[in-house]
Structure 1
């Protein structure tokens, strides 16, 4: 899926999407017949030869130095996540001898998120697989425990479950970001067959996913705001924090909170009163490959 062509595809997307004016190039509109920047312009701005940059785009050279990565990141005005993605794509190909081991959430983390009865919390693993969630997260989003193991994936739910489009009031922004997150993971783990399987399924079944995936945008979730609604309690605006778990590689804890005293806080509290007592103290325990 990623292979030697991925670096070239990413560079071409950056080049054609880059405004000449933003790059500091002034030219009469009638004098430009290509979208974005020309290869020779990128090469000049990055301080490399046109032949070298052309070979990068064509996949004939796949291991640029850190200085070249920094120069291209500057030319394309990449943010930290996109710069890291470019560096991932530029790494020499790796061949994993064994499949990735199944992911498990430690019992202590299970107990921790189960104890958070006032805040939705869930743990996401490789390729956005949902590994664990508390009762309030399942009430707010979906009950992952009722899905087949292969379907317990956040990206898959966002694109293939119609309920997700109703839950997120800003669904297009949420969906585009999650595709960017999956693209970021793809650059870091290009040899993950389960990821290739997921991308293939979503590409076939969702035109929206196909459009955003082909755009090669990269997103790393750290914190932000979600605008949601629930049929039982109404609109809820939540702030989220994405916390990497240092002792558990490729696992991220997502914690949702609301502003104290807000209508969203009241609505979330009502949802907790409705949802949590029926499964008091419970948290699903999943295992994913």
Structure 2
């Protein structure tokens, strides 16, 4: 159990929740309400627990909460399924993997899927954001992954190295990749607290990207299955693509594919790439 992380998560979710979202009376004078979001006693009342106990949870002084208490807090704070799972892991009520990090095993069926995706570019990433397999179209679209050192074959490190030159966000979507990376790494570190490679990535990206750092502090673990990307190809020019992430059943791997709107100039360029 990580009392400090649990306390910070509860406080962030409480401050993000507004009284009207939980059917509490809206204060007539907002200037008289100094606390962002809900007050501690309001969360305690919604969860059916004493204000003193909830206060101790936010101060990292309470013992491990029971599954029943976590369920009540999840309902009171209007947590999503992903956030409830994250809350349980922080409270030590869900299994974590304390093993040292190891390279992901890529199932044969996942490799076949990558090869059969053509002309769609795709690659597989593990929980450390390492790119562990890819097809020829992905290498032609983004970079030749096989020529990179193993340490640099990582989505976060590539975004630091190539972001703004090869792959960027279109107007209005500037923070979505950073927020997605923060959410995925936050969830991964809760599942695998003994893996130092995850902490290294968090520190590297936080130092590079203030949006990532802000999202990390907010404990945002909500998935973003589709991101809009602007890819600048040396021969084809700019392609505006949807970057979609799909889970590979039975593993910790995720499949990332790049698609274009049907009939768009980007779709025609993607076809030429194949």
**Residues of 2 paired with 1:19 and 1:48: CA distance?**
20
What residue number does 2:269 align with? 267
1:209-224 maps to which residues of 2 (within 5 A)? 209-221=212-224, 223-224=225-226
CA distance in 2, matches of 1:129, 1:217: 21
Aligned position for 2:10: 11
CA distance in 2, matches of 1:164, 1:191: 34
**Alpha-carbon distance, 1:234 to partner:** 2.6
Q: Which runs of 5+ in 2 are unaligned?
A: none
Work out which of the residue numbers 222, 235, 238 in structure 1 matches 2:239: 235
Query: After superposition, where does 1:23-62 map in structure 2 within 5 Å?
Result: 23-25=22-24, 26-27=26-27, 28-61=29-62
Change beyond 3 A, Cα 1:79–1:95: closer
Alpha-carbon offset, residue 121 of structure 1: 1.2
Q: Secondary structure at the residue paired with 1:234?
A: strand
CA contact (8 A) 1:46 1:71 kept: yes
TM-score, normalising length from structure 2? 0.85
2:2–2:92 CA contact under 8 A, matched in 1? no
Shift of 1:80: 1.8
SS of alignment partner, residue 197 of structure 1? helix
Alpha-carbon spacing, 1:142–1:71, altered in 2? closer, same or farther (3 Å): farther
Number of residues of Structure 1 aligned to a counterpart in Structure 2: 268
Q: Which runs of structure 2 are paired with 1:126-275 in the superposition (5 Å)?
A: 126-163=127-164, 166-169=167-170, 170-221=173-224, 223-231=225-233, 232-238=236-242, 240-246=244-250, 249-272=251-274
Measure, in 1, the Cα distance between the counterparts of 2:121 and 2:134: 8
Q: 1:54-133 to 2 correspondence within 5 Å?
A: 54-61=55-62, 63-91=64-92, 98-133=99-134
Partners of 1:164 and 1:266 in 2: how far apart? 22
Give me the TM-score of the superposition, normalised by structure 1: 0.81
Gaps of 5+ in 1: 273-289
Alpha-carbon distance in structure 2 between the residues aligned to 1:137 and 1:143: 8
Cα distance, 1:96–1:234 mapped onto 2, change above 3 Å: closer
Deviation beyond 4 Å, 4+ runs, structure 1: 92-98
Compared CA separation, residues 178 and 62, structure 1 to 2 (3 A): farther
**More moved, 250-259 vs 114-123:** 250-259
**Structure-2 separation of matches of 1:150 and 1:105:** 18
Alignment CA distance shift 1:60-1:165 (3 Å): farther
